[in-house]
Structure 1
Amino acid sequence: MAQTALPTSIGFLAPPVLHNERGEVRTVGVEIEFVGPSAEKTIQALQEALGGRLVEVDPHSFALKDSAIGELTVELDSRILHPGKSKGGGKGVLPKVAALFGFAASYLVPCELVTGPTPIDRLQDFDRVLDILRRLGAKGTQDAPFYAFGLHFNPEAPRQDAHTVTAFIKSFVLLNPWLRREVSPDRTRDLLGFADPFPPDYVRMIVSPAYWPDTPRFIDDYLAANPTRNRDLDLLPLLHHLDRSRVRAVLPNEKINGRPTFHYRLPDARVSDAGWSIAPDWNRWVAVERLASDRETLDMVGNTYLAFKGEDKSWANVVEQVVRS
């Protein structure tokens, strides 16, 4: 009996709404943490493979402009090592101190690679970046006994209105037990305190089919229950973009850069694994978008959740049937 050939790669699914309000293909940014090669060595290898113009921001922060896959930045993931990003800029002795400390800290502090907004239909290009990192000897979660490395997606919201944002958060919290199970966070992340899920009372309020607030009420409700960046799906950048003054009234000092994107944080980047791709994680995000775009199913799943008496592990099995259908 002939064996069926296994696929050598996993395709990237398209979301149900591919274009934004301007009729342009939506974009997504990707962030990934790793250790091993320095930021400078990494950006040089990316330039060699992808072309573009290299810009040194500081000794531990670099940008690659106009590459074959758009703009990329690589830097040590610690704000104190980049004095130019602090209020008032970085002048005098401080940048020199930060540079010297950064060289020492590079053995302990991970690098973060961040793409600029990339059209969703070109997301598969990011796997080329992973190949470059592996050739450089970059390491991820499976190589660090006391640290786990993050993968983040920043997908552009298809519409910037209360109905869209509400539908997305409803879908996400309903699917989150399944998402967390599928991601299988490294146990180190549990010890280090990965992002907390949304509070149960907030979840029960928003999944109700009757909950479709306007933008001001949605933001007020969100901030009352979630005055923090510490969520799997961090809405603060998007809400800051929609109503900066409303967010700042509650969180005047929180580090938030407003942008019209969701911020989906994942706890596991297995950079050195030759079989690892960001496609499965992205495709699970697409499952969130698909449920968000189906109002009838979304309301049905919300009602089912409100009547459900079991634990999250059991609920994950329930919503898996919705995802697979």
Structure 2
Amino acid sequence: MTNETASRYRLPPRRERASGAERRVGFELEFSGVSLEQASAAVEALPGGRIVDSTVAERVIDTDLGRFRVELDWNFLKQQAAQNHGQEEWLGTVADVAALLVPVEVVCPPVEIGHLEQLDGLVDALRAGGATGTGESMLAAYGLHINPESPDLEASTLSAYLSAFALLQWWLSEAHQVDLTRKVSPYIDLFSESFVRPLLLEPPGTMESLMELYLQHNPSRNRALDMLPLLAEIDEERVRSRVDDPKIKARPTFHYRLANCQIEQSDWYLSDPWNIWCVLEAVAERPDWLEELGREFLARSRPLLGVNRTEWVDYLKQWLDDHELV
């Protein structure tokens, strides 16, 4: 590993969890151009790689980094494969057809923030095998999901990260160059100003008030920053009483869904979207910056019209440059 490779990945201000252990981050890559078998082989080639479970729709692979899942991103096929484990002949043809229409997804295990470069070889292998990402399909909104562990589960921390995202979300969409197919999809909706205004006017000081505000305005997984897994980790019963969605999986991580997967580009690595996320982390960890930006955002709100998006993004570009964050 060279210093150049190691330096691709920006480090956030807080590298440790409350326990003192290094924070970890997981990635989920969606792409096409390679089969389930080819993608699985790329993962299995990692140090210690071995398949521990297999269906026509999914492979589970243990490696020295942890457990990966490689799957066709189609719930029907995965459910049928699970229910007919060992009697899957008829599903083979369905899987072959599905491979032409739905993406393959690689779900990575949580990796320590200081060792993310260990995933670069996997990206190289998938790219060399012909994997293509977001720009490949006008039908499938391929993306990259980032799941960073929260530094802690305190209301003040979650409120700060929510506020940072709310303030930066329009700039983040530009910074990631979010593909039009993904923008018009229902999966990565940005927060509405009807949520952002009360969040900034009176940042929730308790977990009770934070959950109530978030669930009132965002009772869906389909957000660019999906907080439901993290809130379910804290109070799963409350979340499920408000959002009836079996796909919600409680875990102590943010679920950031905004980035494209541009794996076909020779100079693209997971560091590209990760480093943009780290701008959000830098702002979230500075209460004075949050106060300054929040005050400016609210001052720009116009009756009925809200904040002018173009003008706010232009302001942020200059502000981020002045603070040496980009």
Return the TM-score normalized by structure 1: 0.90
Summarize deviations over 1:90-127 as a string: whole Å, max 9, x none.
Answer: 14898555444222211111100111111011112222
Correspondence 1:123 to 2:116: yes
Check if 1:198 corresponds to 2:191: yes
Contact 2:23 2:151 in 1 (8 A): yes
Q: Is 1:22 matched with 2:19?
A: yes
Give the residue type in structure 1 aligned to 2:73. Answer: D
Task: Name the structure 2 match of 1:82.
Answer: 78
Moved more, 270-279 or 287-296: 270-279
Equivalent-residue separation in structure 2 for 1:121 and 1:38 (angstroms): 31
Q: Distance in 2 between matches of 1:245 and 1:49?
A: 38
The correspondence for 2:51, drawn from 51, 54, 62, is 54
CA shift at 1:181, angstroms? 1.1
For 1:224-235, list aligned pairs within 5 A: 224-235=216-227
Name the CA distance, whole Å, in 1 between partners of 2:246 and 2:5.
43
- Higher mean alpha-carbon deviation, 76-85 vs 148-157, is at 76-85
- Does structure 2 conserve the Cα–Cα contact (< 8 Å) formed by 1:80 and 1:98? no
Deviations 1:58-94 (A, max 9, x none): 1221122123x33221110011111279xxx614898
Contact (CA 8 Å) 1:140, 1:270: kept in 2 or not?
yes
TM (norm. structure 2) is: 0.89
Instruction: Name the SS for the 2:60 alignment partner.
Output: strand
Aligned-pair CA distance for 1:254: 4.4
Relative to structure 1, the CA distance from residue 201 to residue 145 in structure 2 (aligned partners, 3 Å threshold; closer, same or farther) is closer
Q: C-alpha displacement at 1:236, in angstroms? A: 0.4
**What residue in structure 1 maps to residue 296 of structure 2?**
304
Q: Does 1:35 align with 2:32?
A: yes
Q: 1:24 to 1:267 in 2, by over 3 A?
A: closer
| Cα distance per residue 1:115-157 (max 9 Å; x no partner) | 1111011112222211000111111123334434100100000
Distance in structure 1 (CA, Å) of the matches to 2:237 and 2:113: 30
The aligned length equals 314
Choose 148-157 or 180-189, whichever is displaced more. 180-189
1:10 is displaced (CA, Å) by 6.6
SS at match of 2:101: coil
> CA separation in 2, counterparts of 1:131 and 1:185?
22
Opposite residue 240 of structure 1, the aligned amino acid is A
CA distance in 2, matches of 1:247, 1:76: 28
- Displacement of 1:9 in angstroms is 9.4
Aligned 8 A contact 2:186 2:222 in 1: no
Q: How does 1:244-323 map to 2 (within 5 A)?
A: 244-309=236-301, 310-323=307-320
Q: Tell me if structure 2 keeps the 8 A contact 1:32–1:150.
A: yes
**Aligned CA distance change for structure 1 residues 131 and 53 (closer, same or farther; 3 Å):** same
Name structure 1 gaps, 5 residues minimum. Answer: 1-6
Corresponding residue of 1:3: none
Contact kept? 2:6, 2:117, Cα under 8 Å: no
Which amino acid is the alignment partner of residue 291 of structure 1? V
Are 2:283 and 2:290, in contact at CA under 8 Å, matched by a contact in 1?
yes
Residue ranges of structure 2 left out of the alignment (5+ in a row): 302-306
C-alpha contact 2:73 2:105 (8 A) present in aligned 1? yes
Task: Measure, in 1, the Cα distance between the counterparts of 2:141 and 2:271.
Answer: 19
Q: Which moved more, 1:275-284 or 1:227-236?
A: 275-284
Deviation at 1:17, TM superposition (A): 0.4
**Residues 46 and 122 in structure 2, CA contact (< 8 A), matched pair in contact too:** no
